[in-house]
Amino acid sequence: MDQFTLNMIFVGGSFALYIGIAIWARAGSTAEFYAAGQGVHPILNGMATAADWMSAASFISMAGLIATVGYGNSTFLMGWTGGYVLLALLLAPYLRKFGKFTVPQFIGDRFYSQKARMVAVVSLIIISVTYVIGQMTGAGVAFSRFLEVSSDTGLYIASTIVFIYAVLGGMKGITYTQVAQYCVLIIAYTIPAIFISLQLTGNPIPGLGLFSTHIESGLPLLTKLDQVVTELGFAQYTTLNSSMFNMFLFTLSLMIGTAGLPHVIIRFFTVPKVSDARWSAGWALVFIALLYLSAPAVGAMARLNVISTIYPQGTQADAVLYEERPDWMRNWEVTGLLKFEDLNGDGRIQFYNDKNEGFAATATERGWTGNEFTYNNDILVLANPEIAQLPGWVIALIAAGGLAAALSTAAGLLLAISSAISHDLIKSYLNPGISEKGELLAARISMAGAIVVATWLGLNPPGFAAQTVALAFGLAAATIFPSLMMGIFSKRINAWGATLGMLAGLVVTCAYLFTYLGMFFIPGTNLLEPVAANYLFGIPPASFGPIGALINFGVAYIVSMMTAPPPKDVQDLVESIRVPKGAGAASSH
């Protein structure tokens, strides 16, 4: 059976499963559309949360960025997993005890202000739209290769599938679809990783294989990788190529950004009890760890495999002839995500870091006139099974997994946008008298509109999937996270403080991010390292989230101290949210 047919069987079968689940779990009320009727078991919710969380950035792009930059991009692993600890301890159980459907609804009720709710709606939409660009980009990359279509056509196909099951099922359909998607994506990620780890090191556990001996050379795998990348003028793989200050800020931005992402937070509104919210976060961490513990190994092994296919004899003098390039290169060239330009006319592929000025003399000695081989970071995980020449069914499996990762998160983000528009904007502000049937229709129309916008933006993304997502984390860190923390743990922060704090965090962060957006999205650059001398204190845009959060906290506190305290009933509400008594048996309120 040829590879294309295998791809169609695996991808088509997974899509049939998702759509079938959506039809079975079709939402019939707003409670089911927004919060799955608050009846999801914590283990299933943990699995759905993991799928919601492990997006195209986690599945496709994270290992690619680790492969390109090395140790420095381990910040993605630390920040994203650390954010779930914050969620489990500081936010999830308290928000579930509050018993509402959306993040803006909590902010509006806690700060007794429609203005605060509207600012939260605007923040949520900006965050979610920015985030969903990365998912649609990742879906386009996966479709373009495995269904042998252009990335734009792949994006349209992905949008159609999401439209069918997300608009139909709402949170109820999305939840059970995400459970299936988690099973698909974790199997798809780990099986190729095990194969490749065995192939390179003889160790079946990828995380341990990373620190094992490379069979062919007899060197530790990471030592071998350091050797081959430095011989090509790239920075040493195992060395931090960024300042510790920027690494700290970026990790913190990812942590508090994770804890402030609306599409993750709303998952904790779907469980029956307050205690289930904390258990859901714990289970989500377990399910996420299965992929995240393998990601560094996948990235390192992919980098080594790519270089080995270009220099099969292990020396720079024996680069492969372009006409004799392996099939995986030919396959990915069709997508436009891998390119070769013969600069010196020798017919061989020259692959090295021609941006390294200190390496220029060595390159000249070798007869190199510039790097001739480029590829998009996002293809590495998807191409890795082909590079390693694994069986066709493994390649088809990872195609289905990559699409599951992109579509599961896209659906969660689109639901967050839809809920904010239909429930927080239309129901609470524009048309309070709307019927439940009308609100459900508005929610579905809002989601359809969000899918159209996300598709349009995905056609021209500002960067790699994980880079685009990094912006969303900065915005969430600067707006939603501080407001939730102050809303839960401070009785003194009032409506004016919260509203102006969110606005300050949003405006300052957006201004900083988009001022340097063009400088930030340079392919192949280290996300942690400034590429412009005029950054504020040398802080790259991807690391600015904590600064925006501090501004939010500071403005909220100062304004609240200068104005009247919240009403007594609001202070009592805050107290009741934090009191653990009876939490385990709490109802939806």
Closest CA to 42 of 219, 300, 339, 275: 275
CA atoms within 13 A on the CB side of 199: 19
3-state secondary structure of 506: helix
pTM of the predicted protein model? 0.83
Q: Give me Rg for the CA atoms of the chain.
A: 24
pLDDT of residue 533: 56
The correct CATH number of 3-302+386-585 out of 3.40.50.970, 3.20.20.10, 1.20.1730.10, 3.40.1360.10 is 1.20.1730.10
CB 201 within 8 A of CB 215: yes
CB 15 within 8 A of CB 162: no
Which parts of the chain sit beneath pLDDT 50? Answer: 464-465, 518-528, 530, 581-589
The phi, psi pair for 150, rounded to 5°, reads -70, 160
Spatial distance between the Cα atoms of 56 and 134, rounded to a whole number of angstroms: 7
Place of tokens 């159209």: 452
Spatial distance between the Cα atoms of 483 and 111, rounded to a whole number of angstroms: 9
Q: What is the pLDDT of residues 405-444, one digit of tens each?
A: 878 888 888 888 888 899 898 988 889 899 988 998 998 8
pLDDT of residue 253: 92
Q: What is the pLDDT of residues 154-176, one digit of tens each?
A: 888 888 888 887 787 788 888 88
Closest CA to 196 of 391, 466, 437, 367: 391
Spatial distance between the Cα atoms of 297 and 181, rounded to a whole number of angstroms: 23
Tell me the one-letter amino acid at 364: T
Spatial distance between the Cα atoms of 70 and 299, rounded to a whole number of angstroms: 8
Spatial distance between the Cα atoms of 473 and 477, rounded to a whole number of angstroms: 6
pLDDT of residue 64: 84
pLDDT of residue 31: 81
* Paired strand residues for 220: 213
CB 233 within 8 A of CB 356: yes
Spatial distance between the Cα atoms of 91 and 76, rounded to a whole number of angstroms: 21
Contacts of 294 (CB under 8 A, 6+ apart): 189, 190, 193, 206, 207
CB 412 within 8 A of CB 174: yes
